[in-house]
Amino acid sequence: MIYWQLFVSFFQIGLFSFGGGYAAMPLIRHQVVELHPWLTATQFTDIVTISQMTPGPIAVNSATFVGMKIAGLPGAVVATLGCVAPACVIVTLLAWLYYRYRSLKLMQGALAGLRPAVVAMIASAGMSLLVQAVLPQGMPGRVDWVAAVLFAAAFAAMRWKKPNPIGVMVCCGAVGLVCYSLMRGIAGWSI
């Protein structure tokens, strides 16, 4: 009975949690704290904190942790399957529809219209991250030159040399660690 409740609860979370992990938190809280008192509010906060620190989506991590707490390893598996099942079904259905109707001009037109929107959304997210990194909050008019130079170098390397992205991230992290450590060591300089 508990396995079925876990599956159904997290199936609902997976089905209706549009907008990412933060949008899913009220649904998760309602299911695991209010509807089924599996966790206290404090335990729920702890689960969300742990879910944020571990790799993967918040809803899936929460499902795994709640399932483990309530019914051990089988509960974790059932809750996690319940959370990811809606996405698997929807993606499979969309893939089937795409392969079945991909030659239609209507489908090609819709996909052609989506491409610029996807590029714009990715560019918007990238620009937002760049602005946050290069223009530190709370310091109007200040520019973090180390971040700006690292961005320019990484961008140039990725654009023209095509190295392994993980290597670029590791190199930028190491250079940033050295630069920021040296700058903090210089008296009176703050980033």
Summarize pLDDT for 95-128 with one digit per residue, the tens. Answer: 998 899 888 888 888 888 888 988 888 888 788 8
User: Measured in whole angstroms, how far is the alpha carbon of residue 115 from the centre of its chain?
Assistant: 21
Tokens of 69: 């707490």
Count structural domains, the chain: 2
8 lies in the same domain as 94: yes
Per residue in 121-177, pLDDT tens?
888 878 887 887 888 775 667 888 898 999 999 999 999 988 998 999 999 999 999
Tokens of 166: 């993980």
90 lies in the same domain as 115: no
pTM of the model: 0.60
Angle in degrees, CA 58, 35, 21, rounded to 5: 15
81 lies in the same domain as 133: no
Domain boundary among 101, 134, 149: 101
**66 compared with 51, residue with greater pLDDT:** 66
